[in-house]
């Protein structure tokens, strides 16, 4: 076994350090979907170079897993599209993922996210009432039909924003969170930067057309993933099929809610310049996928394209859990400590998406600093683990110490110092 390490300036005779005593634990990987086979245990290996082999199209060196599939992605009639596995966070496949596009009412994903954040931070409450300003009332486009200078609850306004896509409700909530829509837009762009949405810039909270109001399908998928992972308690708004306010009933424009019972969100968008857009999400057997379609020619086209993309993503890929904080990726040798080994792994469960049936072929490669000298603290970052398939990097995550290892006594430390000199 060859070991990756960062060299310490101890002595030239300690180059390989504790390599021969490294203990590798099997990784118990289980299929996420009930119809998928359970992969065999996969050993975590180490490399001598410290670099995982990777050939990919993404900035971080990883590939879209769809490139490794034998079943090609469906042919879609849209300007740009993307599909993402929420459990693993991996992009499955895409077309024009980084092309700048108008988000139209998909903008309201970010608007709703910031309202959810304000609710969680107790800056807003669902039963709190909001005054409807003249500006909110006059906002053009789709409407909830609120009246000016009336008090409307945050809960009703959220349904107006999400179910009815009301621009009047959207501006009212923006003003409730930040005092004005202008200030709220500044928060939107600040949050976009925080989420790593490098190609997104907001000019308003609603998605009304503006030459500078742009995003990408990649960024839209990340927005959607962050909503369903960070604010799942509010996801029910996106599966709500209708909402009546001021005696006016409006249906949710996401017709997938009637077509596929596994679909429970998220948001439609449409302007004459943006075309028909839809960010959808479905949950099947515990696995969640997000699809993004922009620039379709009609409502029917965005529904058909989205359903094709969701079905292809579920039917041709597995998402498996390789290890978590109870199943370390590797057992590593510890020096000068009260324990001789410690588990290294992720603080959260680590999932990976692969073409169906390819789970047993995933190759984890652990890379971490050698030697590990006590004391070690639970949660300390010491390296990375790379997950590869067919020589291509799928994802890379940090390795953390999973247990405290106190420092040994004086004689124990001296004994290990001598042993290290001869390793």
Question: pLDDT tens-digit profile of 44-95?
Answer: 543 322 222 223 346 578 899 999 999 999 999 999 999 999 999 999 999 9
For residue 92, CA distances in Å to 23, 220, 310, 313 come to 34, 14, 11, 7
Q: Note the pLDDT tens digit of each residue in 296-336.
A: 999 999 999 999 999 999 999 999 998 877 788 889 999 99
| pLDDT value of residue 327 | 82
Contact 387, 393 (CB under 8 A): yes
Superfamily covering domain 74-315: DD-peptidase/beta-lactamase superfamily (3.40.710.10)
CA atoms within 13 A on the CB side of 331: 12
Contact 5, 369 (CB under 8 A): yes
Choose among 238, 252, 256: nearest CA to 307. Answer: 256
Q: CA torsion, points 176, 182, 186, 187, in degrees to nearest 10?
A: 10
Tokens 């459990």 locate to: 87
For residue 410, CA distances in Å to 332, 336, 337, 338, 370 come to 22, 9, 10, 11, 21
User: CB-based burial of residue 391 (10 Å sphere; 0-12 exposed, 13-18 middle, 19+ buried)?
Assistant: exposed
Point out the residues that are catalytic. 105, 108, 165
Q: Note the pLDDT tens digit of each residue in 117-172.
A: 999 999 999 999 999 999 999 999 999 999 999 999 999 999 999 999 999 999 99
Instruction: Spell out the alpha helix ranges (H) of 77-129.
Output: 108-120
Round to whole Å and give the CA distance between 288 and 88.
9
Q: Is 267 annotated as a binding residue?
A: yes
- Do the two domains 12-62+320-421 and 74-315 of this chain adopt the same fold? no
DSSP assignment of 281-321 equals EEEETTEEEEEEEEEESSHHHHHHHHHHHHHHHHHSEEEEE
Domain 12-62+320-421 CATH class label? mainly beta
Q: What residues form DSSP beta bridges with 372?
A: 334
Q: Which residues contact 329 (CB under 8 A, 6 or more apart)?
A: 25, 27, 44, 322, 323, 344, 345, 346, 350, 364, 366, 385, 399
φ, ψ at 243 (rounded to 5°): -150, 135
| pLDDT value of residue 325 | 74
Round to whole Å and give the CA distance between 343 and 383.
12
Structure tokens at 423: 């390793």
Under DSSP, the state recorded for 280 is E
Q: Which residues contact 102 (CB under 8 A, 6 or more apart)?
A: 207, 209, 213, 214, 271, 273, 274
Residue 222 predicted with pLDDT over 80: yes
| pLDDT value of residue 62 | 87
| pLDDT value of residue 81 | 98
Residue 423 predicted with pLDDT over 50: yes
| pLDDT value of residue 58 | 64
Global model pTM greater than 0.75: yes
Q: Where are the domains of the chain?
A: 12-62+320-421, 74-315
């Amino acid at each position: 076994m060859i070991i990756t390490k960062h060299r310490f300036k101890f002595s030239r005779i300690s180059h390989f350090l504790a390599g021969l005593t490294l203990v590798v634990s099997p990784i118990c990987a289980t299929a996420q979907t009930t119809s998928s086979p359970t992969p065999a245990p996969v050993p975590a290996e180490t490399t001598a170079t410290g670099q995982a082999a990777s050939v990919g199209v993404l900035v971080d060196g990883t590939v879209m897993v769809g490139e490794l599939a034998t079943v090609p992605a469906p042919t879609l009639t849209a300007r740009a599209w993307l599909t993402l596995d929420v459990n693993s966070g991996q992009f499955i496949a895409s077309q024009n993922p980084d092309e700048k596009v108008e988000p139209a009412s998909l903008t309201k994903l970010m608007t709703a996210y910031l309202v959810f954040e304000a609710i969680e931070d107790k800056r807003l409450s669902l039963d709190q009432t909001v005054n409807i300003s003249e500006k909110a009332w006059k906002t053009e486009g789709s409407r909830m039909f609120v009246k000016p200078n009336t008090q409307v609850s945050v809960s009703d306004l959220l349904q107006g924003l999400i179910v009815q896509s009301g621009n009047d409700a959207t501006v009212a909530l923006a003003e409730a969170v930040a005092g004005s829509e202008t200030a709220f837009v500044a928060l939107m762009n600040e949050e976009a930067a925080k989420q790593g949405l490098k190609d997104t810039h907001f000019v308003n909270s609603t998605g009304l057309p503006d030459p500078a109001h742009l995003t990408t399908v990649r960024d839209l998928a990340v927005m959607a993933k962050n909503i369903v992972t960070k604010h799942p308690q509010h996801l029910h708004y996106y599966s709500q099929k209708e909402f009546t306010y001021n005696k006016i009933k409006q249906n949710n424009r996401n017709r997938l809610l009637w077509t596929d019972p596994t679909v429970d969100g998220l948001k439609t968008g449409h302007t004459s310049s943006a075309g028909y857009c839809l960010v959808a999400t479905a949950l099947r057997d515990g696995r969640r996928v997000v699809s993004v379609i922009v620039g379709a020619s009609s409502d029917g086209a965005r529904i058909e394209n989205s359903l094709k993309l969701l079905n292809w993503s579920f039917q041709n890929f597995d998402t498996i859990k390789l290890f978590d904080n109870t199943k370390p990726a590797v057992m590593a040798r510890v020096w000068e400590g009260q324990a001789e080994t410690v588990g290294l792994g992720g603080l959260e469960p680590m999932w990976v998406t692969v073409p169906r049936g390819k789970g047993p072929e995933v190759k984890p490669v652990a890379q971490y600093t050698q030697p590990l000298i006590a004391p070690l603290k639970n949660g300390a970052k010491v390296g990375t683990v790379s997950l590869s398939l067919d020589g291509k990097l799928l994802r890379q995550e940090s390795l953390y110490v999973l247990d405290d290892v106190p420092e040994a006594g004086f004689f124990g430390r001296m004994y290990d110092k001598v042993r290290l000199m001869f390793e």
